[in-house]
Structure 1
Amino acid sequence: MRSRPATGLPEIDAGLEARLADGLAAVDARLREVVDHDDPFIAEAGGYLVNAGGKRFRPLLTLLCAEAAGDADDRVVEAAVGVELTHLASLYHDDVMDDAELRRGVASANVRYGNSTAILVGDLLFGTASRVIAELGAEAVRIQAETFVRLCAGQIRDERGPAEGQDPVASYLQVLADKTGALIATAARYGALLGGGDEAAVATLTDFGERLGVVFQLADDLLDVASESGDSGKTPGTDLREGKATLPVLYARSSQDPEDARLRELLAGPVAAEDVPEALALLREHPAMAQARQRTVELAQEARGLLASLPPGPAVDALDRLVEGVALRSA
């Protein structure tokens, strides 16, 4: 049986797979280099989540989009590093805000180092990401700044919830576009730009990246409910305990069926730890799950449809498989 490729993408062109694997290795080495510090404690804390591993999904997308756009130069690795550092920095902050206990199978940074240090290390990594991106020129810096603004705006809107009279589902999807989609769009955009793509290709791949990011988060939301063993990287029902109104929760809340009264009661706010098993059991059997899966598949199909305007080739085929694989995680 063929072993799973280092890229995590099955059945892709062998030459492309080798180039991507080499690129990811270069990204990983460079990440460790730039988070190093002459203060041993800062070096340890800054490299904590780097060393914990992860899929390197965003760097992979940057490398793939460079391939799809044309012929990337060496700067694509720096762009991928900048994007991943931005992502890692946001995780330090997210874990403080969520009072998380685990991240990537290890104690979260806030548990290991305390909230104040975790926030400061996140800030340090944001600064490091900006320093890396600055080497790519003024346009790259502007993109990085705009992305950071969207990340923060999305987080603020997520904390506040939808405005009065605003459709909760539309509001949630916009939050995901900002919180998750914006950085994944930037990963794709940097790849397209450094791959020498024309204006149309850059716009298409950026749009593709944002839609892919929304699908990525929607699939995670579904896994939080559907997973039995925590294979998604967190304990099932984490979002319910934190009171997050994810897509299946929003659909279930909107039900008018009297038989759903208990589920609506449980989902009205954060679910108490002792009630999580009941809430999960009820939600797993509710039509809201199928409705949320269908919406995820539809958005994935929209993302895949964008690729039709690009010149065909192994990289575009791999992008198609990537979005399909992301969506199927929730099936």
Structure 2
Amino acid sequence: MTGSALGLAFDDPEFEASVRAGLAAIETALQVAVRSDDEFVAGAASYLVDAGGKRFRPLVSVLAAHFGDPTRAEVVSSAVVCELTHLATLYHDDVMDEARVRRGAESANSRWDNSVAILTGDFLFSRASNILADLGPFAVRLQAQTFERLVVGQIRETVGPADGVDPIEHYLAVLQDKTGSLIATAAQFGAHYAGVDSSVAASLREYGEQIGIAFQLSDDILDIASDSAESGKTPGTDLREGVATLPVLYALRSDDAEGARLRELVSRPLTDDAEHAEALRLLRVSPALDEARATTRGYAEAARATLAALPDVPARAALDALTDQVTARTG
């Protein structure tokens, strides 16, 4: 197996070259999609594109397309739609979360202001819609359904669980809508426009849904367990804002005496630097973090299980390796 800059290992040079070509085409198209004659708009719209990112959704699209014909132009266009949608939500999320850092750089709302960040997100949504119009009714309908799930997930996160609803079940359901839905769509777009059989496309969509949840959970763990160089944002950002991610929810659910101090800390926003550092230290050695890692592995294995129904081609092995990569991020 040879190493790959994608973070995956390939034993098929032709397949690797094809995957790289697909991702390069998407990157080029993405740069074109955020251009504007207005210099300020162009700078704001390209800000997060230029900051980089994992391009996880395009990778899933390209790998799904390799179960059919990955060279079809629509594969690239539909992947750009998904990445533009993702980027637009990041602009909006940073405003809602009052984030200061995104992808290792100053967030757009910090560099400019909330209004500019929100409007830039809207601009990216409009560009995605323009591409969708050329892709046709299937793409427009799937994107509309996906966007509905993204919005519903955000509303449910903002409102919080209803009385009597388990906060952990609520949180996982939110992630299914906020993250799983778009990665599922990325897989479905790639498969559909590559001419993949509908049953295979359905399995790929399910893979995307499950690996998407695992991917977000791994980000939650990294926010606690890693430094800013790894995660691309300040460690413990969610803790400081009082946002309860899965490790915190597991900590709050525990009733052991040793975890009393941790529960007291994470039950509220941590604006004090000393308390924030203490909570991070306690979480990093807590059973709650291990429990969150186990849950992440569970979703990753659910994603892996869907691969059994897929044809034995190099893309299936790559998706299997991608599953390993997601779980390996959490340590």
TM-score range, shorter chain: over 0.9
Match of 1:236 in 2: 235
Matched-pair contact (CA < 8 Å) for 2:146–2:181: yes
How do 1:77-88 and structure 2 match up within 5 A? 77-88=76-87
Per the TM alignment, residue 13 of structure 1 is displaced from its structure 2 partner at its CA by 2.2
Per-residue deviation at 1:81? 0.8
2:63 corresponds in structure 1 to 64
- Following superposition, the deviation at residue 330 of structure 1 comes to 0.4
Distance 2:71 2:200 in 1: 14
| Whole-angstrom distance in 1 between the partners of 2:272 and 2:57 | 33
Give the aligned partner of residue 23 of structure 1.
Answer: 22
CA distance in 2, matches of 1:7, 1:260: 39
Structure 1 residue 132, shift from structure 2 partner = 0.9
Q: For residue 214 of structure 1, what is the aligned residue in structure 2?
A: 213
- Aligned match of 2:316: 316
- Structure 1 counterpart of 2:141: 142
Paired residues of 1:230 and 1:236 also in contact (CA < 8 A)? no
- The answer for the alignment partner of 2:289 in structure 1 is 289
Residue 280 of structure 2 aligns to which amino acid in structure 1?
L
TM-score normalised to structure 1 length: 0.96
Q: Post-superposition shift, 1:103?
A: 1.2
Give CA deviations for 1:156-187 in whole Å, capped at 9, x if unaligned.
11111111100111111100000111110100
State the distance in 1 between where 2:12 and 2:263 align: 48
Contact 1:6 1:21 in 2 (8 A): no
Write out aligned runs for 1:167-316 (5 A): 167-274=166-273, 275-316=275-316
**Structure 1 partner of 2:155:** 156
Distance in 2 (CA, whole Å) between partners of 1:23 and 1:323 is 20
Give the 3 Å change call, closer, same or farther, for CA 228–169 of structure 1 in structure 2.
same
Give 1:87 shift: 0.6
- Opposite residue 307 of structure 1, the aligned amino acid is L
Distance 2:11 2:224 in 1: 31
Q: What are structure 1's unaligned runs of at least 5 residues?
A: none
**Would you say the 8 A contact 1:188–1:206 is kept in 2?**
yes
Alpha-carbon offset, residue 258 of structure 1: 2.0
Question: Equivalents in 1 of 2:183, 2:196: separation in Å?
Answer: 17
Q: What is the distance in 2 between the residues matched to 1:96 and 1:193?
A: 34
**Corresponding residue SS for 2:183:** helix
Aligned partners of 2:243 and 2:11: how far apart in 1?
37
SS in 2 for 1:147: helix
Q: Could you tell me which runs of 5 or more consecutive residues in structure 2 were left unpaired when the two chains were aligned.
A: none
Question: 2:65–2:191: 8 Å Cα contact kept in structure 1?
Answer: yes
Q: Determine whether 1:124 maps to 2:129.
A: no
Provide the aligned length of Structure 1 versus Structure 2: 330
Shift in alpha-carbon separation, 1:107–1:71, aligned structure 2, 3 A = closer
CA distance in 1, matches of 2:106, 2:320: 34
SS in 1 for 2:234: coil
Moved over 4 A (4+): 69-72
- Map Cα deviations across residues 302-328 of structure 1 (whole Å, 9 max, x no partner): 100100001111001001111110111
Displacement, 1:235?
A: 1.5
Letter in 1 for 2:178: K
Indicate conservation of the 8 Å contact 1:101/1:108, yes or no.
yes
CA displacement at 1:102 relative to structure 2: 1.3
> Residue type matched to 1:286 in 2?
S
Query: TM-score, normalised to structure 2's length?
Result: 0.96
> For the aligned residues, what is the CA RMSD?
1.5
CA contact (8 A) 1:32 1:47 kept: yes
C-alpha displacement of 1:88: 0.6
Structure 1: distance between partners of 2:258 and 2:30: 52
**Percent identity, aligned pairs only?**
55
Aligned to 1:105: 104
User: What is the letter of the counterpart of residue 284 of structure 2?
Assistant: R
| Rounded Cα–Cα distance in structure 1 between residues aligned with 2:201 and 2:150 | 21
What is the CA-CA distance between 1:68 and the residue it aligns to? Answer: 2.4
Aligned partners of 1:184, 1:215: CA distance in 2, in Å?
Answer: 11
Residues 171-220 of structure 1: CA deviation (Å, up to 9, x unaligned): 11100000111110100010111121222111111111011110001001
Which SS does the other structure have where 2:122 is aligned?
helix
Q: Which amino acid aligns with 2:151?
A: C
Whole-angstrom CA distance in 2 between matches of 1:29 and 1:312: 30
Aligned residues of 2:104 and 2:229 also touching (Cα < 8 A): no
Q: Deviations over 1:85-113 (max 9, x none)?
A: 00111111011111111111221111112
State whether structure 2 residue 6 is matched by structure 1 residue 7: yes
C-alpha separation in 2, matches of 1:32 and 1:264: 45
Distance (Å, rounded) in 2 between the aligned partners of 1:247 and 1:113: 31
| Cα pair 1:7 1:17 within 8 Å, conserved | no
